[in-house]
Amino acid sequence: MSMSRDRKKNAGRRYWPKHVAPADKMLFQTVSKLDASQWWPEERLVNLQQQRLARLLNFAKDNTDYFSEALKGFGTFTPEQLTEDFVRSLPITDKQAIQSEGSRFIARQHDPRFGRLAEFKTSGSVSKPVTITWNSYANIFTRAKLFRYHQWHGSDPKKKFSSLRLIPLEEDGTSKGIRARDWYPLIPGGESVAQTATWPIAKQMEWLQREDPNYLFTYPTNADALVRYASENGISLPQLERIDGFGEVMVEHLSSFAKDVFDCTVADKYS
């Protein structure tokens, strides 16, 4: 069987954890709820969304300086009032407000069951970076979304996952990279490797040839430069099945370009 036919055969396969570690119990529960609720009738989904949105709006209004002011005069939100027209009438919070008034978005009260707060910054690839503050419970939802992403795209948890992104460098500016296992949430097995995307494209390609991964996670502009370099220099990555773009808007021609050069697919994890 050819590589292309084998990839198509496995693309729709759906993996599910056989055993769940105690530490991953809440993650598994979240994944299971999302998996079940995606098949609910529209009315049931809308009702749940309205209930959750009412709780969120009331919490934000009562516990953050920014939304206390932005939602002043709205009173207590109820699920019944949250129709599409009503939601469209709510004030819009833009990215500039988040960038300039970040600390005013942080809740005054935190449920200790959901862990301590942590911060990270977005890449700032299309504008000024945004600082995000969240807790461990939010991280569970991020991992649950990642699990579903790999399910939707037929990722094989036993295969090799690579990423070229911004990673911490050594004090002298060099990068040792990262090597780990179990990149697929809830399903152990596969090897994961990561290296810095700040390397020149030729050096990144040499690294990819040595690692020979099945999946590549990187910025679309970086992926475009890698595919172009491979095309110009007659380089192939025989095991590469998919490029996952993240952190930037997708490059329009990347999917067809990568198909021609590497015979792989491209998925957009950013949009």
C-beta separation of 132 from 170 below 8 A:
no
Per-residue confidence (pLDDT) for residue 126, from 0 to 100 = 56
- Tell me: the pLDDT tens digits for 91-111? 999 888 988 888 899 998 888
Nearest to 151 by CA among 179, 194, 187: 187
Residues in the chain, pLDDT under 70: 1-12, 123-127, 271
Per-residue confidence (pLDDT) for residue 116, from 0 to 100 = 84
Q: CA 215, CA 156: separation in Å to the nearest integer?
A: 10
3-state secondary structure of 104: helix
Q: What count of other Cβ atoms lies within 10 Å of the Cβ of residue 164?
A: 25
Q: DSSP letters along 51-70, please?
A: HHHHHHHHHHHHH-HHHHHH
Per-residue confidence (pLDDT) for residue 2, from 0 to 100 = 44
Beta pairing class for 161-165 and 242-245? unpaired
Per-residue confidence (pLDDT) for residue 1, from 0 to 100 = 36
